[in-house]
Structure 1
Amino acid sequence: MQQAAAQAPADPRAFAAAVKARLQEGQTTLRAAFEADGNARRLIVGRARLVDATLIEVWQHLAIPPEIALAAVGGYGRGELFPGSDVDILILAPGDFCNADAHRRAIEQLIGVLWDVGLEIGQSVRSVAECLAEAARDITVQTTLLEARFLCGRRELFDEFWAAFRGKLEPAAFFRAKRLEQAERYTRFNDTPYSLEPNCKESPGGLRDLQIIVWAAQAAGLGDNWPALARRGVITAHEARQLARAEDTLRDIRCRLHLMTRRREDRLLFDHQEGLARAAGIEATRTRRASEVLMQRYYRNAKLVTQLNTLVLQNLAAAIETAPPAPPIVIDVRFQSVRGLLDVRDDTLFEREPHRILEAFLLMQQRSELQGMTARTLRALWAARGRIDAAFRRDPQNRALFLQLFQQKRGLTHELRRMNQYDILGHYLPAFGRIVGQMQHDLFHVYTVDQHILQVIRNLRRFTLPEFAHEYPFCSRLITAFERPWVIYVAGLFHDIAKGRGGDHSRLGVADARRFCREHGIAGEDSDLIPFLVEHHLTMSAVAQKQDLADPDVIRAFAGVVKTSRRLTALYLLTVADIRGTSPKVWNAWKGKLLENLYHAALRVLQGDAPAPAAGLAVRQEEARGMLRFHGLRGGVEDALWRQLDTAYFMRHDAEEIAWHTRALYHRPDSAEPVVKARLNPFGEGLQVMIYVAGQAELFARLCGFFSRLGYSIVEAKIHTTRSGYALDSFVLLDPSDTLPYRDMIGLIEHDLVEQLQTRPPLGAPSSGRLSRQVRHFPFSPEVSTRRDEKGNSHIMSVAAIDRPGLLYAIARVLAQHGIDVQAAKISTLGERVEDTFVLSGNELGKTATLVQLEQELLEVLRV
């Protein structure tokens, strides 16, 4: 390399161009070799060496002052450079070096040339004292310097730095700081490796989980690679091989991501997953896309990484921490407690007595002082998981132990997650094992199937805990009074277990649930309840969000499906837990209110009463009158308005809404001017808007367009026409971006919407708002179906489509163009998908040709 520097052209631009050409040629050669053999380690080590040579050549060519030293730090110091990674360097200088202008100019020239040759440099210029001070303040700097590697310049200065740095390094303090850092990182990624777009570097189960092990071992002088850790007894030889394979898998994915995106991209976005699968030679199967196969492999690798991370960090803690170990506390002849962790007293316990595997998890639930399991116990569980075979599953003792896990007062969620982590759950329930790491391409689940199931069970358990009673108080009251709530947990375990088999997973899961009940001695009404919940776990949300809850026939039909109040309560609890377990974007207070209303209405029917809308109309009106009196209105002021309202209005609105409408309209039932009132939604987040105006064409479309332009999503619309021809409509609005201040928008809506209704400008074209990035990678065909309702008075139109800004307005505009009126609308958003239901009226709906044309036009505007 010195010869190349001596022969380098004198012209700085020519020199930089020549070095850049050699660097690009070298990187092209490395990439070609990787694409041929798939050896990611050779690629990243080769790029580090190539950059080493480039840096040394530039350093020597520029004749950098001999007082300073150049070192590689961070991942580059480790001797690894991924294709898109920055080149982190430390320019080490004497304490007074930077005071000299000439020296500063030399460093600036160095950095400039390095950028000119095509290297993205991350540099720091420090003295030894400054390095030590920064390392003491910032654990990230300390970690970066831990991997420092000398490149060129004054070797004595680098050795002085390294000796001082190692002398100041406290392995135990460093280890504790890195574990806290990992806990914070896990929190940022929701403590799961199983999000649908994970970060292969930072997410749990990513490369960072492996690097933290090496950093802690390096700091303690235990080695800087897996074979070295095995020689020191920190890990076994088998674990060293597992760690190396897992690391190679992650390196391969990260290298391909960088090369495919031509930048440092560590997120496995939907945009990249199919391309990555093709690059890795993965092909689609009959039931799954190539990207799904790739991601299941990734999740299983991430699961292994988190397992090994837990094991090795425990062993490192024992090797690094200087405090004398506390003596073990004997639990029984098989188990003991070591530092608050469950420990097997004999490494062969689970091999000799396999049923103790389940007993270990049961002990974790029963003994609150246990905070986890020792590395020895986890290793023994992992090694013995193969002992859970057909004979193990048939053993009545094991079946009883497994069922007891669900019947304990604490720890179910933690232990099911631990059982899943170490493949115990998948071995005991092979059907569960098949859905581990399985993606859900449905636009609203953000977890893999197994993680969603465990999230649902977690939600159910939280209903029982006093510290979470404030979250969903009604659910907490119901589950507290529910006899044997563990039955609902079992149903939660099976509700999605048949995903990915093809066909209706709700029905397919029923067979698994029935077999489980039969084999585990669950009898009587519980053996009936669990399969019922599995089969109908989607029914309650479908009725609440898509049907008219003011219709007594809807309530009677739903009650006929449920049949008993115990079933109803269990289904309600599972439904709330299930929706909350799909994605943070799917649940909102409005859906909660719909479900609660349906629960109360169905419960009255099951208790022998008529559905509340039919039986309690007079009661509801009297309750509304009481609210009016409370607000100071004299008796009878409501009569003029109420004479214009029919039974359907009082059925669709509760007493509080009726009173609110009446206070705004009692003195102007024949108002010549539009009346618009808005308020904070009393039933949860968002706004409630009431519109009262003399009938006009295209009203629903105009209102939808107005709200769309403001950026709101309509989650419910109640459309009513009075006997005198006035429209009395109410909407519930949510801000999907969570940026619009609801309270501040009330005055604007009341003023601007009145102006719109007075001037009636032509309906504008629907917004062509941008689709979310994820939507482009989910094949979904829009659906439109129209049918007469059972009474023959109206038509029910159902629409399913990909959500986008202005979608509802586009639908309303098509309906308006055909002269079709919207009587009511149920707007249901499930992640990136909408499933809306409209009650329609209009003479044209009776014509088959009109219906066909209408559906074709709607499909056209729904396509993305």
Structure 2
Amino acid sequence: MTTPTPLQHAIVEVRQQLAEGHASLRATYEAHPLTARLLHGRAKLVDTAIVRLWKTGRLPANAALLAVGGYGRGELFPCSDVDLLILLPEPPDADLQSLLSELIGALWDVGLDIGHSVRTIEECLDAAIADITVQTNMLEARLLAGNAELFADFSARYREQLDVRAFFKAKQLEQEQRYAKYQDTPYALEPNCKESPGGLRDLQMLGWIAQAAGLGRNWRELARRRLITGEEASDLRSVERFLQHVRIRLHYLTNRAEDRLLFDHQEKLARIMGFEPTAAKRASEALMQRYYLTAKKVTQINGILLQNYGTEIFPGRSAPAIVINARFQAVRELLDIRNEDVFERHPSALLECFLLLQQRSELKSMTARTLRALWLNRNRINAAFRADPANRALFIEIVSQKRGVVHAFRRMNQYGILSRYLPPWRKILCQMQHDLFHAYTVDQHILMVLRNVRRFTMGEHAHEYPLMTRLILSFDRYWLLYIAALFHDIAKGRGGDHSTLGMVDAREFCEQHALPADDVELVVWLVQHHLTMSHVAQKEDTSDPEVIRNFAGIVGNERRLTALYLLTHADIRGTSPKVWNGWKGKLLEDLFFATQRLLRGATPQQALGLDDRQENTRHLLRYHGLRPGVEDALWAQLDAVYFMRHSPDEIAWHTRVLYFRPSADEPVVKARVSDEEQGVQVMVFSRDETDLFVRLTGFFGRMGLSILDAKVHTTRHGYALDSFILQDTGNSASYRDIVTLIEHELTQMLQTGGEPRRPGSGRLSRQVKHFPITPQVSLRADEAGRHYILSLIAADRPGLLFDVAQVLASHGISVQTAKIATLGERVEDTFLLTGGGLSQDSRVLKVERELLDRLQV
């Protein structure tokens, strides 16, 4: 039997010591949750283990072992990795390389997640110049074992080389890049408590800069230097502890270095941290609201402290103040209060400062002392302040400015001014939305919608949505849409219909601010109907003249129509980057133009543009070189409904493929990449079969393609002419590659026949598991009684559409049109149906029951 080496013997003992030490630290923390005791305790525990292995590993006396990064700071979270720097006087030879490899292997063997580097001092200095992350890690280096003189030499040369001004600029740039990665918001529904804006990294960055510049080693020292106030130092200690608790609990809950507050963990984490559910909120919602308020506080103080750092680090940058008025001055492109008590003596200046930023383009932001004074005096905005006509006029001026509107409202929200001026805003501040397709809290969603409306007015963004820009710039007092955006979701979470409740708040605001009666009614109407246009466009058959007539009746006039179109477009885009797509934009655009023509005096048929579509299609066919009349044989088999449901481009495409084979013996499948390459359009032309729609949905599901839109048409001579818009849910291949695959595989499937095949069931997303969606099914006749409208809501999953189609086919029900709306993990699908004996109530009930059974997850 081989005798264990001293290092192998040490590994066994150290592994046991670490396991017992970690268990003891956890038990102590859970009994008395003190972050400092846990974080420093784990660092000391790991220190002991590493030093023993270093000494047992017979490393040369001239080498030094350093802790760097967070470990160098003396803090280790439960599952954080351990960063080490092995410092050598000269590059290692083969023997030393072997010893170092044994040491690193031993560290892994005892259960430590090691990040290490082996460098000479010169290599360290070169790496620090090349990489700001390496330079930052070395800033907090401390000696664990080995050559103290070598470490002292390294520290002196590192400090000598450190360019504090360059370091400050680099860390600011690094923060900007990190913010951009997380979409510049702390308010995403699954934030990263370490890296997201307002997370622990923001606080660590403030500490690094202070340490590099010699400004202080903790928040108390920064307060003594008057870089922050005593209250801010206390706030920083409090928010830091909360974020540390969140990260510690996440690590223990998941048993890994997990820093994301995923839906999977939020409810459990909330209960562990002592948050209790109420009648209005889940425990997780209470936790997340606390988290967002914490992140908000961090970003506030971060902005103030970075400015103060800049003043200390660049003392020569100060410039003489330029007086703006009796209350404000400009200091190096920043708005500054002229006296510390400005807001006390002139409360209206709490709004005036935002207006000045809008009016003076040379001003980029506010000075730290102005931001601090703004926050400390926010409570001066009370009922008397809100009732003052001068303050009301100031607020309307801010809303109606030509520039800086979004920045103004984001700053007002950040520093507590908006929630003081608009009391209903307080109820949505940092309020989470558990509908799985809103990516932001309610207040941030509203500001995102405001931003989207504002972008329509800006020439530099006109290329994004040219129609929107043209419409809004011709709209009288378009800033009224900003007010509608502010109030459209302001009643979320109160219980009841938020559109109806929001109308009351909007009317009160508009009347208090003396808006003309017509403008009041427009804003109130927009808040009431802000969901109507998206509902009609995505869930109703907009090729039906009656649908257009009913919608036009709701709208009433073209001004309302234009305003609602602009607000709806901005609202959908403001929910989540994943929710908006070009297909939804096209649905809204078609509904807008059809309604606009109707309001201008056209008949419903003219509004839908049947004659125009055919004429425009003919022009496209001539453009592609087809002689006049070639379309007649195919078009003779198509009715008016077909032409109303398809655009001229789609009709021309179908015609170019089919004009020479209107009675093809074999199935014809054609696919193409849709506009802006956001999906694939597929056309299927085949003799009609009872289960054709079922087979098609099964095929697309097996390919991992999600159906966004389906138009199912039966020609006069018994052929199915079906159109689909598809997206690749897995993003596994380019759409151009998918086109060829669809054409070949789908044609082959249709030719060979066989029973419809269900796609694989797949797994439910983790979001749906934690926020289950109760299926809803409604099957009702339309107003004309010619068709039936099936509406369903369910959790999205692979094979769902196949299951729906299979139930319908089993009852002999034909699908005429399918509108598939996927909102995050929730689907809201609408089908236009015929046949199947749906005039019998018993049959309708049976279909609904079967669908509900199939939709259960």
Q: Normalized against structure 2, the TM-score is what?
A: 0.97
Q: Which amino acid aligns with 1:173?
A: A
Aligned-partner residue type, residue 368 of structure 1: S
The verdict on how the C-alpha distance between 1:684 and 1:127 changes in structure 2, with shifts beyond 3 A counting, is closer
What CA distance in whole angstroms lies between the structure 1 residues aligned with 2:394 and 2:445? 24
Letter of the 2:98 counterpart: R
| Deviation (angstroms), 1:441 | 0.5
> 1:571 and 1:740 mapped to 2: Cα distance?
37
Mapped to 2, the partners of 1:63 and 1:659 lie a distance apart of 80
Please identify, of 44-53 and 444-453, the stretch whose mean Cα deviation from structure 2 is larger. Answer: 44-53
Deviations 1:475-533 (A, max 9, x none): 00000100001100000000001111011111110100000011111122110011111
Alignment of 1:765-780 (within 5 A): 765-780=758-773
Counterpart among 455, 460, 469 of residue 462 in structure 1: 455
Q: Secondary structure at the match of 2:761?
A: coil
Partner Cα distance (2:293, 2:317) in 1:
37
Match of 1:5 in 2: none
Decide whether the 8 Å contact of 1:329 with 1:336 is kept in 2.
yes
Which residue matches 1:3? Answer: none
1:580 alignment counterpart: 573
Is structure 2 residue 396 aligned with structure 1 residue 399?
no
Change (3 A) 1:643 1:224: same
User: SS at the partner of 1:590?
Assistant: helix
Secondary structure class of the residue paired with 2:434:
coil
**Residue number among 560, 564, 585 corresponding to 1:571 in the alignment:** 564
C-alpha distance in structure 2 between counterparts of 1:56 and 1:682, whole Å:
62
Provide the residue aligned with 1:590 in structure 2: 583
CA distance in 2, matches of 1:710, 1:640: 34
Partner of 1:80: 75
Structure 1 pair 599–126 and aligned structure 2 pair: CA distance change class (3 A): same
Residue 109 and residue 392 in structure 1: after superposition, are their counterparts in 2 closer, same or farther (change >3 A)? same
Secondary structure of 1:720's counterpart equals strand
User: What is the SS of the residue equivalent to 1:828?
Assistant: strand
Q: Which moved more, 1:20-29 or 1:845-854?
A: 845-854
1:682 is displaced (CA, Å) by 4.8
Residues 684, 147 of structure 1: alpha-carbon distance in 2 compared, 3 angstrom cutoff: closer
Q: Which amino acid aligns with 1:88?
A: D
User: Given the alignment, which residue of 593, 604, 612 partners 1:600?
Assistant: 593
More moved, 658-667 vs 584-593: 658-667
**Matching residue's letter, 1:348:** D
Please list, as runs of the form range in 1=range in 2, the aligned pairs for 1:225-236 lying within 5 A after superposition. Answer: 225-236=218-229
- Residue 537 (structure 1) aligned with residue 530 (structure 2): yes
Equivalent position of 1:549 in the other structure: 542
How far apart are 1:403 and its partner, in Å?
A: 1.0
- In the alignment, the residues of structure 2 paired with residue 380 and residue 653 of structure 1 have an alpha-carbon distance, to the nearest angstrom, of 59
Task: Give the alignment partner of residue 352 of structure 1, picking from 330, 345, 348.
Answer: 345
Would you say the 8 A contact 1:91–1:126 is kept in 2?
A: yes
Contact kept, 8 Å, 2:709 with 2:818, in 1: the verdict is: yes
- Preserved CA contact (<8 Å) 1:551 1:613: no
Deviations 1:573-612 (A, max 9, x none): 0000000000111111111011011111111121122124
The percent of aligned pairs where both chains have the same amino acid is: 59
Return the alpha-carbon distance in structure 2 between the equivalents of residues 60 and 643 of structure 1: 91
User: Which structure 2 residues correspond to residues 406-445 of structure 1 after superposition, within 5 A?
Assistant: 406-445=399-438
2:726 aligned residue (733, 736, 742):
733
Q: Per the alignment, in what secondary structure is the counterpart of residue 689 of structure 1?
A: strand
Residue 705 of structure 1, CA deviation:
1.5
Q: Within 5 A, what are the aligned runs for 1:436-835?
A: 436-612=429-605, 616-682=609-675, 685-835=678-828
Range with greater deviation from structure 2 (9-18 or 425-434): 9-18
Contact 1:688 1:732 in 2 (8 A): yes
Partner in structure 1 of residue 355 of structure 2: 362
Deviations 1:723-780 (A, max 9, x none): 2211122122222333432233333323332222222121123420222222222121
What amino acid does structure 2 have at the position aligned with 1:55? I
CA change 1:666–1:71 in 2 (3 A) is closer
Shift of 1:646: 2.1
Once the two structures are TM-superposed, the CA of residue 613 in structure 1 deviates from its matched residue by 5.1
Q: Where do 5+ consecutive residues of structure 2 fail to align?
A: none
2:244: which partner in 1? 251
Q: How does 1:84-483 map to 2 (within 5 A)?
A: 84-96=79-91, 98-99=92-93, 101-483=94-476
Farther off after superposition, 759-768 or 554-563: 759-768
Equivalent residue, structure 2, for 1:61: 56
Letter in 1 for 2:34: N
Cα-to-partner distance string for 1:43-86 (whole Å, 9 max, x where unaligned) = 10111111122222333333432112222111011110110111
Within the candidate set 18, 22, 25, 1:23 is matched to: 18
**What is the alpha-carbon distance in structure 2 between the residues aligned to residue 658 and residue 537 of structure 1?**
32
Superposition deviation, residue 39 in structure 1: 1.0
- Using structure 1 for the length normalisation, give the TM-score: 0.96
Return the offset for 1:216: 0.6
1:8-65 per-residue CA deviation (whole Å, 9 max, x = no partner) reads: x975433322222222212111111111121112110111111122222333333432
Deviations along 1:127-155, whole A, 9 cap, x unmatched? Answer: 22221111111111111110011222221
**Aligned to 1:361, what secondary structure does the other structure show?**
helix
Paired residue secondary structure (1:181): helix
CA distance in 2, matches of 1:634, 1:642: 15
Tell me, in whole angstroms, the C-alpha distance in 1 between the residues paired with 2:627 and 2:10.
Answer: 93
Deviation at 1:684, TM superposition (A): 6.7
Aligned partner of residue 233 in structure 1, secondary structure? coil
2:838 match: secondary structure? helix
Secondary structure of the structure 1 residue equivalent to 2:62 = coil
Contact 2:251 2:259 (C-alpha < 8 Å) held by counterparts: yes
Deviation at 1:210, TM superposition (A): 0.6
By how many angstroms is 1:712 displaced?
A: 1.7
Contact kept in structure 1, 2:821 and 2:827, CA below 8 Å: yes
Instruction: Give 1:263 deviation, angstroms.
Output: 1.0
- Seen in structure 2, the aligned counterparts of structure 1 residues 684 and 55 have a Cα distance that, compared at 3 Å, is closer
Contact 1:601 1:612 in 2 (8 A): no
Q: Where does structure 1 lack aligned partners over 5 or more consecutive residues?
A: 1-8
Q: Number of paired residues?
A: 855
Q: Distance in 2 between matches of 1:70 and 1:684?
A: 54
**One-letter identity of the residue aligned with 1:421:** Q
CA contact 1:613–1:651 (8 Å) conserved in 2: no
1:552/1:613 contact within 8 Å kept: no
AA at the equivalent of 1:144: N
